[in-house]
A = this chain, B = another copy of it.
Amino acid sequence: MSDIALIEALCAIVGTGHVVTGRADLAGYDADGRGPVGLAAALVRPRSVQEVAAVIALAAREKVHVVPQGGRTGLVAGGAADDTGSMLLLSLERLVEPLEIDPINRTARVGAGVSLSRLNAAAAEHGLFFPIDLGADPTVGGMVSANTGGARFFRYGDVRRNTLAVELVASSPEAHVLELGRDCWKQNDGIDLKQMVIGAGGGLGVVTAATLALQPRPVHSVSALIALSDASAIGALLVAFEQKWGMLLTAFEGISAAAYAAALAHVPRLRRPFTANYPYFVLIELSGGALLQSDQLEEMLVTAVAPFLEGVEPQVADVALDHGGGLWALRHALTEGLRASGTVIGCDISLRRGDVATFRAEMIAELARDHPQILVCDFGHIGDGGLHFNLVWPHAAGAVPDGLADALRLRVSTKVVECFGGSFSAEHGVGPRNIIAYRTLTALPVRRLAGCVQSLFSPVPIGRVDYGAMAR
């Protein structure tokens, strides 16, 4: 089939208005959360699972490589074409139905194109929310495929832990539609196949709908920024706070002095929480239901922090309570602050919680020795061992030398995996931007199994990671 015949066949499935081919029109789709990437042959926007299946069947027969795409907020280029100009982007943005909340079951049945904000608006009418807390606004299909994490992973887990069922179109000439899982919380009735789809980056097929678990939206909450005189106190704080507060502790975020300074220097209208300078900060949040008042939460917060503040060897230098959201505004401004400071070479790593401070100290010292230009501006979800270990190459140092960014990312990832038993991708998933780390740091038998699983679900290659090729 010629290119023109293929486009005509796609138009016959989804309607002429929903096949995008012009370079200018495509440009907006050739991007993700880190900016422009790739060059697609075309983009198709089906509006139903039947249309998705028809597109997939056509592409499989014609050997066109399909890349499913959600809200283009991903950070590893998993939803973008490569630069060959041959891939077909499959946008799920028109699959905005169903959007059905079951308030007693605390679940939502949602089309892949529904955005997190729309889902949460519908859930909020019942005092519920989908507990994936992000700056971006991804779609449900993208979140399931990427297994999104976020700032409340610490309490509620990732998308995997909050997904009950997945509807999947397999990539084959038959384009089977599979429903994996059920709309109930408990299901222990055989091998849980949906777990393979979650976090596979669209490589096992196209996620067209999902049943998601919702959580009661906390009614009262208090937050505080804790200034540490020494980042090595992180572990002791975590252990003490969890024992004192139990499940009320809903966030435990770490911020390096460098990231904190970058945000305050470059992002307007931020309130400076402390007048003095400190080497590390921890942002905590306590949340509860309607019957636990904010003043009770605040009292519990102050009581638990006091021993650290007043100790003979105080590890807590100062505490700023949040009144009006200023602390979270600072937290959410960190990325913008870094971008304004230079070129950001981002590493999304994960460690044992007790290793966060050690890893930071060692890695920062190594980099300072070998690359004194680089400023490490790390922050992240350290309550669960997740760390956005960002290296900032200042604008003043000129362009980043060719190949250095990849080399630095692999160096950081290798230390994380081989010296600390951690992960090179805590929550962003696997895509073209970190595939070198996957290939280098994942054991061969595991890569082989992953490749076989991928071809089992979708015999025709789909998505941006060819797990089979990664095993060779």
Taking Cβ atoms with an 8 Å cutoff, the residues of A that contact B are 102-107, 127, 146-147, 149, 153, 155, 157-158, 160-161, 176, 178-180, 182-193, 195-196, 198-200, 203-204, 216, 218-219, 235, 238-239, 242-248, 287-292, 296, 300, 303-304, 350-355, 381, 384-386, 421-430, 437-438, 442-443, 445-447, 449-450, 452-454, 456-457, 465, 467
| B103 contacts A239, C-beta separation under 8 Å | yes
Q: Which of B187, B195, B290, B452 contacts A456 (CB 8 A)?
A: B452
Residue of B nearest to A240 (CB): B290
A258 CB to nearest B CB, Å = 23
Provide a sorted-by-A list of 29 A–B residue pairs whose CB atoms are within 8 angstroms. Answer: A102-B352, A104-B354, A127-B243, A153-B185, A161-B161, A178-B449, A182-B422, A182-B423, A186-B350, A186-B386, A186-B427, A187-B350, A188-B429, A189-B438, A190-B425, A191-B203, A191-B450, A191-B467, A193-B453, A195-B195, A243-B289, A245-B289, A245-B292, A246-B288, A248-B248, A248-B289, A248-B292, A291-B303, A449-B457
- Contacts A192-B198, A425-B189; is A290 near B149 (CB within 8 Å)? no
Report A208 CB to chain B, min CB distance, Å.
Answer: 15
Q: Which residue from chain B places its CB closest to the CB of A300 in the assembled complex?
A: B291
* Chain B residues with CB under 8 A of A443: 179
Q: Are B456 and A246 in contact (CB under 8 A)?
A: no
Q: Which residues of B contact A456 (CB under 8 A)?
A: 449, 452-453, 456
Q: Are A193 and B450 in contact (CB under 8 A)?
A: yes
Partner of A191, one of B107, B161, B425, B453: B453
Selected contact of A107 from candidates B147, B352, B423, CB within 8 Å: B352
In the complex, are the beta carbons of A289 and B446 less than 8 A apart? no
A180 — which chain B residues lie within 8 A by C-beta?
446
Are A218 and B189 touching (Cβ within 8 A)?
no
Shortest CB-to-CB span from A199 to chain B, Å, is 6
A450 CA to B422 CA, complexed, in Å: 30
Given A104-B353, A195-B196, is A426 in contact with B186 using a C-beta cutoff of 8 Å? yes
Instruction: Find chain B residues with CB under 8 A from A239 CB.
Output: 103-104
Q: A416 — nearest CB in chain B belongs to which residue?
A: B184
Do A188 and B184 form a contact, CB below 8 Å, given A216-B243, A244-B290, A288-B248?
A: no
Name the distance in Å between A43's Cβ and chain B's nearest Cβ.
Answer: 26
Known: A186-B384, A192-B198. A291 touches B244 (CB 8 A): yes
Q: Contact check, B244 vs A247: say whether CB atoms are below 8 A apart.
A: no
B188 pairs with A425, CB closer than 8 A: yes
Contacts of A103 in B (CB 8 A): 239
| Inter-subunit contact A186/B149 (CB<8 Å) | yes
CB-based nearest B residue for A126: B239
- A92 CB → nearest B CB, Å: 20
Please name all residues of chain B whose beta carbon is closer than 8 Å to the beta carbon of A351 when the two chains form the complex. Answer: 184
B352 touches A189 (CB 8 A): no
In contact, A191 and B288 (Cβ under 8 angstroms): no
Contacts of A445 in B (CB 8 A): 176, 178
Q: Tell me the smallest distance from the CB of A197 to a CB of chain B, in Å.
A: 9
A193-B449, A245-B291, A247-B287 are known contacts; what are 16 more A-B pairs with Cβ within 8 Å?
A104-B354, A105-B354, A147-B192, A158-B186, A180-B446, A182-B422, A186-B384, A186-B386, A189-B425, A190-B446, A191-B454, A192-B196, A196-B453, A216-B243, A291-B300, A453-B456
How many Å from the CB of A123 to the closest CB on chain B? 13
CA distance A291 to B292 in the complex (A): 13
Nearest CB in chain B: distance from A278 CB, A: 22
CB-contact partner of A242 in B204, B289, B381, under 8 A = B289
Q: A348 — nearest CB in chain B belongs to which residue?
A: B188
Contact yes or no, A442 B190, CB < 8 A = yes
A188 to B147, CA, bound (A): 7
Give the docked Cα–Cα distance between A423 and B178 (Å): 17
Residues of B near A353 (CB, < 8 A) are: 104-106, 185
User: How far is B190's CA from A429's CA once the two chains are assembled, in angstroms?
Assistant: 7
Contacts of A157 in B (CB 8 A): 161
Task: Select A423's contact among B102, B161, B189, B193, beta carbons within 8 Å.
Answer: B189
Q: A238–B428 Cα gap in the complex (Å)?
A: 34
A437 to B188, CA, bound (A): 13
CA distance A445 to B345 in the complex (A): 43
The minimal Cβ–Cβ distance linking A136 to chain B, given in whole angstroms, is: 15
Select A246's contact among B187, B199, B219, B423, beta carbons within 8 Å.
Answer: B219
In the assembled complex, how far is the CB of residue A435 from the closest CB belonging to chain B, in whole angstroms? 10
Docked CA distance A425–B176 (Å) = 26
